[in-house]
């Protein structure tokens, strides 16, 4: 399954909000430097979905496409 994620790195808290069927808004404490935000989003979404996830598009963008293994 693939989802679209809008991220906001450097936030005060980690937060996941479902906006639509396959659209999520994710606040991250981690900054968008040296891949820290990408690592944080993988960890956070893996825990949220209780599954392995990976970023398939948007490595350097706030808009990402995430693949969730089922």
Mind listing the pLDDT tens digit for each residue in 3-62?
Answer: 999 999 999 999 999 999 999 999 999 998 888 999 999 999 999 999 999 999 999 999
Sequence-separated (6 or more) residues with CB below 8 Å from residue 68: 1, 2, 3, 45, 49, 51, 52, 53
- φ and ψ of 66, to 5 deg: -115, 135
pLDDT of residue 44: 95
Residue 47, pLDDT score: 95
pLDDT value of position 21 = 92
Strands (E), 1-70: 2-8, 15-18, 23-27, 53-57, 63-68
Go through the domains of the chain in sequence order and give each one's CATH number. Answer: 2-68 (3.30.1200.10)
Query: For residue 70, is pLDDT > 90?
Result: no
């Amino acid at each position: 399954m693939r989802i679209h994620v809008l991220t906001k790195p450097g936030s005060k808290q980690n937060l996941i909000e479902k906006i639509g069927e396959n659209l999520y808004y994710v606040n991250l404490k981690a900054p968008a430097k040296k891949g820290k935000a990408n690592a944080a989003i993988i960890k956070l979404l893996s825990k949220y979905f209780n599954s392995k996830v990976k970023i398939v598009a948007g490595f350097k963008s706030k808009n990402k496409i995430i693949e969730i293994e089922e």
